[in-house]
Amino acid sequence: MASKAASTENTAMSANQAPKLNYLNNGHSLKSWLLTTDHKRIAMLYLISVTTFFFIGGFFAMLIRLELLTPQGDLMQADTYNKVFTMHGMTMVFFFLIPVVPAVLGNFLVPLMIGAKDLAFPRINLLSWYLYIIAGTLFLHCMLIGGVDTGWTFYTPYSTVGSNTNVIEAGLAVFIAGFSSIFTGLNFIVTIHRMRAPGLTWDRLPLFIWANYATSLIMILGTPVVAITIVLVAVERLFHLGIFDPALGGDPLLFQHLFWFYSHPAVYIMILPSMGVVSELITCFSRKRIFGYKFIALSSIAIAVIGFLVWAHHMFVAGISLYAAMIFSFLTFFVGVPSAVKVFNWTATLYKSSITYATPMLYAFGFIGLFTIGGLTGLFLATLGIDVHVTDTYFVVAHFHYVMVGGVLMGFLGGMHFWWPKISGRMYPEGWARLSALLVFVGFNLTFFPQFILGYVGMPRRYWQYPPEFQVLNVLSTAGASVLAVGYLLPMIYFLWSLKYGPIASDNPWNAAGLEWKTTSPPPTFNFDETPVVTWEAYNYDEIPDVPLEAPVAR
Amino acid sequence: MVEQQHEVEGDLTVEHEHTTHSQGFYLAIGAALLVLTATTVAAAFVNLGPFNPVIALLIATIKATLVIIFFMHVKGASEKLTGAIVVSGFFFLAILIALSLADYMTRSWR
Amino acid sequence: MPDSQMTTSQATTGSVTTMEHEAHNPALLHHFSDAQQQKNAASLGMWLFLVTEIMFFGGMFCAYLVYRLAHFNAFAAASQQLSIKMGAFNTAVLIVSSVTVVLAVKAAEVGKRKLLVGYLVVTVLLGLTFLVVKGFEYNEKFERHHVPGATFKFTDTFDDNGKQIPVNPKEAELFFSIYFVMTGMHALHMIIGCGLFSVLAILSWKGHYTPGYFTPIENAGLYWHLVDIIWIYLFPLLYLISRHS
């Protein structure tokens, strides 16, 4: 009810004053968008493009779920199924999950949160979006001319001598998308080091900035390795050089080492920024200074570093030495420590706090739940003996969807709702938003929890058929996927709706801490009329009034 | 740290950190690099057993260090950040190689 | 990485006088508060880019090392088919070019325009010399059927202190695969470097750079030195395996 009152009041207010010049109304031509160097506009370009790829990847996901509705392979042939899950994986990993939070929310918020006018290299930022678009277009073309069937992991020797699909084109697309990601990371690190507002010291930085800093480290250190690895696969296909060719004494496992050196940390590229988002949400909606600021900040860096030490846990049964497997198993457990530090600190922040159940907070709770399940099952998989049992089963599929989809999307959607007033200058409809948060949470668990059981009782991944006794759980999973699809579609619809009909948002509708709330909604092109000077710690909620009554949230 | 107050007002001038050295110094480093190249070739033709690759990599590392410190001015750089970045680059490369070799060196069936 | 030293300084030297600077400086980009911040950002960005280059080549060095340990005899026999003379000559060329680059940076710093252009041109010529010599080497490999693929032939043996040990030609082919990928990728970086310095030479001639602003020269120099360092490692690793026998 409060929301309705607020909306009428706000519209009345906005009617008698001309809209302030902001980044959205500063030029309406296509050129002013496509040649922009404004980080906020580039973030919006990214938002549109990653959403497009999310729905393309989602389309393939629905094909997979439909095929698995019945035990027989009645919707498609095995070959087609191979292509479908490959393109689902590649689209989602390289064109959605990796860029989604850093390139959209990070791009929008990093300069705002540190009181800068823009990222350090605005033109490189735009270049990074164009590289993403070139890569995405190449990949779409690759899909249209028949796709690729190697699995998103490009494993050799199948990708070099086995597959007769468009491996090189897909590889090139991933290679270019990698450079897009490198440039984003490089930009963030330089910006965070060089462009902070006066007084904004490292121990006053928002945790979202710390998370993006750690993410950028992985982008810089890991992505080049996967780039060269894909180049090596491509030259092996093109010029018959034999880097990974067993016939020449090459080792296909070396490909896996190089590939996972990036692709395991890449999981942290996806999850770390979402963890940063959750830190912001938890502290704002519990109106309390975050518990253990330094530990959360440093745990991001720790996850980034330790993440580089664990990659061969993807290869336990691939034929690496037992000794190495033990080392990697042992090291993998250490990633659990900083992850647990985060979860414990979030829950400690919630303890005896004044919690508001606004939509962003619902997503934050969803994140904690799903990430905890995903993370704990990760410890199962890190254990050598259990991993032998469940490798390449749906247990693994469920595990990484809980982390990568459950974690990342919960963080992303939570962040989108939280910062939507800043991004668009409008409020979203709270009722619908809560419904969609509920649908996502229920749909997600219904989709993927049965897969843990399926995997544990032996259903292998990447098969288009299965024995009839697995059908009940597969039907549950497909039903859940349908609920999930509605949950994902709803926000897109009401966000678009709110652009025109949403109540006008105030500069700081949540009474949140953080520099991004100290400028107007939406912010002007150069973010701040006056460079802010920071004299306070992050999350000083004890000095900020409660969530205002006008905010469309029930208490 | 660099003091920005020295900046000349209204001119795109940066107060110099004076990190560059004299021309003679650069030529001397260049000469040292050439001598080290000759040394590494000469050392390759002497049988040192397992130490041949060790010597070769040691000389290469000395040469690389000379280039990084003096030609790329890491030593004279105004802050430690540059050095930290270089070190972390090589550190993560070392992780890649060391942990990969942890597998290859311990495969009992080879 | 965040050290407290830079934190405090950043905090104190933050930007309040932005507007006046912008008014005077068309070359200062709008979002930086002053030229020093702009220069520091560009330099940090370049160093981070160099780290990505280290990791990019690092993947290949890792592959090299793994295979060298697994197939040492074949790697030694194949390595001995490379021309030490050309390899050493090219190493020297690159070292001299690194000296000319650093002298170019110095010339830019003291504002000697013609000297700067001269050093840049010499650097490009040295880079091209390297590439031409590399071309001759590749050509020799083609003639001797040492290029991996259907026509690959390898009949040499590993000479272990007078004892001739036959090697598996397939494994020698693996060596040449690595050789071509690594040197080819390095040569690609050389070509990019030559193009970069050619553009910079023209811009320097037109007087784009002053003692107060020569960041592009410095950063291109950093890139060139890194490419040099990579070759410093490639030379002994590829050309000098077990040459004593």
ipTM: 0.91
Nearest CB partner across the interface for A221, out of B92, B99, B107? B92
Residue A36: pLDDT band (50, 70, 90) is very high
Provide the token pair at A483.
């609920």
Question: Residue A310: what pLDDT?
Answer: 96
Helices C35-70 and C72-79 pack at an angle, to 10 degrees, of 110
- State the DSSP string of A180-234: HHHHHHHHHHHHHHH-PPTT--GGGS-HHHHHHHHHHHHHHHHHHHHHHHHHHHH
Alpha-carbon distance C214 to C39, whole Å? 9
Q: Does residue A48 belong to any structural domain of this protein?
A: no
Q: Are residues B9 and B20 in the same domain?
A: yes
Q: Are residues B74 and B88 in the same domain?
A: no
Task: Chain A: give the shortest CA distance to residue C194, in Å.
Answer: 22
Q: Regarding predicted confidence, which is higher, A507 or C6?
A: A507
The residues that bridge with C19 in the sheet, in sequence order, are none
The yes-or-no verdict on residue A223 having pLDDT over 90 is yes
Contact check, Cβ <8 Å, B103/A225: no
Nearest CB partner across the interface for B103, out of A193, A221, A324? A324
Q: Which of residues 282-321 of A touch B (CB under 8 A)?
A: 308-309, 311-312, 320-321
The yes-or-no verdict on residue A152 having pLDDT over 90 is yes
Q: Regarding predicted confidence, which is higher, A547 or A34?
A: A34
**Contact between A436 and A487 (Cβ < 8 Å):** yes
Q: Does residue A247 belong to any structural domain of this protein?
A: yes
Contact check, Cβ <8 Å, A193/B96: no
Q: Does residue A29 belong to any structural domain of this protein?
A: no
Q: What is the mean pLDDT of chain C?
A: 88
**Contact between C36 and B14 (Cβ < 8 Å):** yes
**Maximal C-alpha separation, chain B:** 70
Contact check, Cβ <8 Å, C3/B81: yes
Task: Chain A: give the shortest CA distance to residue C141, in Å.
Answer: 14
pLDDT tens, residue by residue, A154-176: 999 999 988 899 999 999 999 99
Q: Does residue A456 belong to any structural domain of this protein?
A: yes
Contact check, Cβ <8 Å, A248/C60: no
pLDDT tens, residue by residue, A238-261: 988 889 988 888 999 999 999 999
Q: What is the mean pLDDT of chain A?
A: 92
Q: Are residues B49 and B91 in the same domain?
A: no
**Contact between A213 and A300 (Cβ < 8 Å):** yes
Q: Does residue A279 belong to any structural domain of this protein?
A: yes
Q: Is A231 an 8 Å CB contact of chain C?
A: yes
The strand ranges marked E within A398-448 are none
Task: Give me the total of CB pairs closer than 8 Å, taking one residue from chain A and one from chain B.
Answer: 39
Specify the amino acid at residue A18: A
Q: Which long-range contacts (CB under 8 A, 24 or more apart) does A490-496 make?
A: A490/A432, A490/A435, A490/A436, A490/A439, A491/A413, A491/A416, A491/A417, A491/A428, A491/A433, A491/A436, A492/A51, A494/A428, A494/A429, A494/A432, A494/A433, A494/A436, A495/A416, A495/A420, A495/A424, A495/A428
Nearest CB partner across the interface for A323, out of B81, B100, B106? B106
Residue C163 burial by Cβ neighbours in a 10 Å radius (0-12, 13-18, 19+) = exposed
* Cα four-point dihedral sign B3, B8, B12, B14: negative
Nearest CB partner across the interface for A186, out of C2, C45, C178? C45
Q: Regarding predicted confidence, which is higher, C125 or C40?
A: C125
Specify the amino acid at residue A492: M
Best mutation target among A190, A217, A226, A527 (most C Cβ atoms within 10 Å) is: A190
Query: Average pLDDT for residues C164-171, to the nearest whole number?
Result: 90
pLDDT over 70 percentage in chain C: 89
Contact check, Cβ <8 Å, A324/B99: yes
pLDDT tens, residue by residue, A92-108: 999 999 999 999 999 99
Q: Are residues B22 and B63 in the same domain?
A: yes
Question: Residue A222: what pLDDT?
Answer: 96
Nearest CB partner across the interface for C99, out of B30, B44, B59? B30
Best mutation target among A306, A309, A321, A322 (most B Cβ atoms within 10 Å) is: A321
Element (H, E) at C160: strand C157-160
Contact check, Cβ <8 Å, B102/A311: no
The yes-or-no verdict on residue C24 having pLDDT over 60 is no
Query: Average pLDDT for residues C163-184, to the nearest whole number?
Result: 92
Q: Name the CA radius of gyration of chain B, rounded.
A: 20
The yes-or-no verdict on residue C238 having pLDDT over 50 is yes
Query: Which domain range does residue A143 map to?
Result: 2-12+78-543
Q: Are residues B21 and B63 in the same domain?
A: yes
Question: Residue B47: what pLDDT?
Answer: 87
Query: Could you check whether the bond before residue A522 is cis, i.e. omega within 30 degrees of 0?
Result: yes
Contact check, Cβ <8 Å, B99/A253: no
Instruction: Tally Cβ neighbours within 10 Å of residue C9.
Output: 16
Alpha-carbon distance A505 to A11, whole Å? 10
Question: Residue A7: what pLDDT?
Answer: 45
Q: Which of residues 121-150 of A touch C (CB under 8 A)?
A: 121-122, 124
Q: Are residues B90 and B71 in the same domain?
A: no
Contacts of B95 in chain A (CB under 8 A): 308-309
Query: Average pLDDT for residues A419-425, to the nearest whole number?
Result: 95
Q: Does residue A202 belong to any structural domain of this protein?
A: yes
- State the DSSP string of C11-39: HHT--S-HHHHHHH-SSS-TT-SSHHHHH
Alpha-carbon distance A292 to A294, whole Å? 6
Nearest CB partner across the interface for C48, out of A122, A189, A239? A189
Q: Are residues B17 and B52 in the same domain?
A: yes
Alpha-carbon distance B56 to C240, whole Å? 8
Please count the residues of chain C.
245
Q: Are residues B45 and B18 in the same domain?
A: yes
In chain C, what are the domains? 57-239 (1.20.120.80)
The yes-or-no verdict on residue A540 having pLDDT over 50 is yes
Alpha-carbon distance C101 to C112, whole Å? 14
Torsion of CA A473, A479, A481, A483, to 10 degrees: -140
Task: Chain C: give the shortest CA distance to residue A531, in Å.
Answer: 7
Residue C193: pLDDT band (50, 70, 90) is very high
Residue B2: pLDDT band (50, 70, 90) is very low
Contacts of A324 in chain B (CB under 8 A): 99, 102-103, 106
Contact check, Cβ <8 Å, A222/C55: yes
Of C197, C63, C181, C178, whose CA–CA distance to C128 is shortest? C197
Q: Are residues B60 and B108 in the same domain?
A: no
Contacts of B1 in chain C (CB under 8 A): 5-6, 9
Contacts of B10 in chain C (CB under 8 A): 20-21, 23-25
Task: Chain B: give the shortest CA distance to residue A323, in Å.
Answer: 7
Helices (DSSP H) in A457-515: which residue ranges? Answer: 471-501
Q: Name the CA radius of gyration of chain C, rounded.
A: 23
Q: Does residue A446 belong to any structural domain of this protein?
A: yes
Query: Average pLDDT for residues A513-522, to the nearest whole number?
Result: 92
CATH number at residue A270: 1.20.210.10
Query: Average pLDDT for residues A295-316, to the nearest whole number?
Result: 96
Q: Regarding predicted confidence, which is higher, C14 or B72?
A: B72
The yes-or-no verdict on residue C163 having pLDDT over 80 is yes
Instruction: Tally Cβ neighbours within 10 Å of residue A517.
Output: 21
Contact check, Cβ <8 Å, B7/C47: no
**Contact between C28 and C41 (Cβ < 8 Å):** no
Q: Are residues B54 and B22 in the same domain?
A: yes
Element (H, E) at A171: helix A167-194
Residues 6 or more apart whose CB falls under 8 angstroms from that of A64 comprise A81, A84, A85, A88
The domain tally of chain A equals: 1
Whole-angstrom CA distances from A414 to A276, B16, B73 are 11, 47, 45
**Contact between A332 and A313 (Cβ < 8 Å):** yes
Contact check, Cβ <8 Å, A225/C149: no
The yes-or-no verdict on residue B15 having pLDDT over 70 is no
Q: Are residues B21 and B37 in the same domain?
A: yes
Query: Which domain range does residue B47 map to?
Result: 4-78
Contacts of B47 in chain C (CB under 8 A): 161, 244-245
Q: Which long-range contacts (CB under 8 A, 24 or more apart) does A463-469 make?
A: A464/A67, A464/A68, A464/A73, A464/A76, A464/A77, A464/A78, A464/A81, A465/A71, A465/A72, A465/A73, A465/A78, A466/A68, A466/A71, A467/A71, A468/A71
Question: Residue A19: what pLDDT?
Answer: 66
Q: Does residue A534 belong to any structural domain of this protein?
A: yes
Please count the residues of chain B.
110
Q: Which of residues 503-532 of A touch C (CB under 8 A)?
A: 526, 531
Question: Residue B91: what pLDDT?
Answer: 96
Nearest CB partner across the interface for C92, out of B4, B10, B37? B37
Residues 6 or more apart whose CB falls under 8 angstroms from that of C67 comprise A249, A250, A251, C75, C174, C175, C178
The domain tally of chain B equals: 2
Task: Give me the total of CB pairs closer than 8 Å, taking one residue from chain B and one from chain C.
Answer: 181
Q: Are residues B89 and B74 in the same domain?
A: no
The owner of tokens 């519990």 is A286
End-to-end C-alpha distance for chain A, whole angstroms: 12
